[in-house]
A and B are shown apart, each in its own frame.
Chain A
Amino acid sequence: MSISDKELQEAFRRSQLVQKQNDSTAQEANARVRANVLAHNKVNSNGSDTERMFAALASHLRPYFASSTLRFTAVAFAIVAMLGVYNIGTFQSRHSQGMQTAAHSVDIVNYHGFEGEGELLANNLNNDYQARFNAYTRQYVERSLVVKAVTQQPATLQSQDGYWLLVNCENQQVVVSESLIASLNINGRIEGDINVGTQVALAFDSQGRILSIKQPTKPLMC
């Protein structure tokens, strides 16, 4: 009997899971890369704001350079004028504000995962995947036992693609990582039959960490 395309796709997914279990060094490698990347970001964000501003400006101007000589001249003139304004000292702050509001106006995305997941992965000597997962869960339980829910927020589950995507009343997206969902489940902190479109009550601690996701008995008001 011939293998279908769907069966091939499923075999690919299964193979990835087997590799995850077989190749414990891959988890460590990923944790190392994560730590290095975040460290690089820190160094990069401490770099000159001016440098970044000009890089962004250059990317916006590039299409103009390709279009016509007249535009090229106009843009070159604008750059000279902007440099003049910059030297006065007021340009930088006004420009960066404009960048954030106009070019990158997006709704806020709040991501919830395990804090220090990378360090845990790198430091754990035991290579067993299950043991590492238990380590995050233990850490989570230790923390959550001593904290209490201080706020509750209604939200609607919009999609389940490994992680959960919820949308709250302020139309902000709340993304809950796959590992955190698994951990909350183990600890009985996810209650009810939660599917896409279900309204849930999110409980947060004083530091804004998710403590539980429950299906409310009464409909919640925004």
Chain B
Amino acid sequence: MSIGASLQSLFQGKREKALGVSERLMLQYSAKGDEASLAALFDLHSTKLFYFLKILSDSTIAEDISQRTWIKVIEHRHLFKSGDNFQAWLFTIGRRALIDEFRKNAKLEYSNEAVEQFTVSELVKHAHSSVEDDVAKGLEKDVFKACLAQLPYKQKEALSLQFEGFSLSQIADMCGAEKETVKTRIRYAKDSLKIMLEKL
């Protein structure tokens, strides 16, 4: 074996060692199309994806978009490359599918302005009535969810992606925004959330 080939195989080995479970499963699935790898990927990531979509929409839309996202994973599996982060790839597909849905359906809002016009006390009031509704339905009180729901779309999106463990650069890539913009959205989101949570 030549020195070049040895170095290449060494590099290849190192790169593969750095791959996470999901990335290996996805590469396995990309090569074979086997059900077992896909089912494993689904079990590892579906709940996180579903809740991310649900924060930005509702249960019905989240279910629909989640299904569309996984079907895109099946159909575009050959586009997944070694070195890609599977969860970031999956969430990017999901996020785009959700925005497409918003654009198709004029009844749904994809606008920051409507929310940004509310004052903090109005947001707290909305969050409070949402919590009361849940309690009236016999559900466990979830103040955090009610407050998160009051945030502007882009802030909610950036913050929940950060809570899911994505880095600022990953979020910027996923949202097609500058890193500094994402940082600002997250800071505003956290500040508003803290104020609402303290007042409730």
Contact = CB atoms under 8 A, between A and B. Distances in A.
Asked if A and B bind, the verdict is yes
Interface of A: 2-3, 5, 8-9, 11-16, 18-23, 25-26, 29-30, 32-34, 36-38, 40-42, 44-45, 52, 55-56, 59, 99-100, 103-109, 111, 113, 117, 163, 165, 173, 175, 177
Interface stretch (B27-35, B100-108, B166-174): B27-35
B50 A34 contact: no
B19 A19 contact: no
A5 B190 contact: yes
B74 A37 contact: yes
B51 interface: yes
Given A12-B144, A55-B78, A173-B21, A29 B27 contact: no
A55 B82 CA distance: 17
A175 B16 contact: no
A37 B70 contact: yes
Contacts of B75: 44
B39 to A, nearest CB: 6
Interface of A is mostly: helix
Given A3-B197, A18-B145, A37-B74, 18 more contacts: A2-B198, A12-B144, A14-B144, A18-B141, A18-B142, A22-B142, A25-B59, A26-B54, A29-B63, A37-B70, A40-B74, A44-B75, A104-B28, A104-B82, A111-B36, A111-B39, A111-B43, A173-B21
Contact of A59 (B42, B43, B78): B78
A100 to B, nearest CB: 5
B35 A11 contact: no
Contacts of B180: none
A87 B141 CA distance: 65
Contacts of B40: 109, 111, 113, 175
22 contacts: A3-B194, A3-B198, A8-B163, A8-B190, A9-B163, A11-B197, A12-B148, A15-B144, A32-B63, A33-B63, A37-B38, A37-B71, A37-B74, A52-B78, A56-B78, A59-B78, A100-B31, A104-B31, A105-B16, A106-B16, A111-B39, A111-B40
Interface in B25-77: 25, 27-28, 30-33, 35-40, 42-44, 46-47, 50-51, 54, 59, 62-63, 66-67, 70-71, 74-75
Interface residues of B, number: 53
B122 interface: no
Interface of B is mostly: helix
A111 to B, nearest CB: 3
B98 interface: no
Nearest to A171: B17
Contacts of B79: 59
Interface string B139-168: 111101100100000000000100100000
Nearest to A3: B194
A191 B172 CA distance: 44
A112 to B, nearest CB: 9
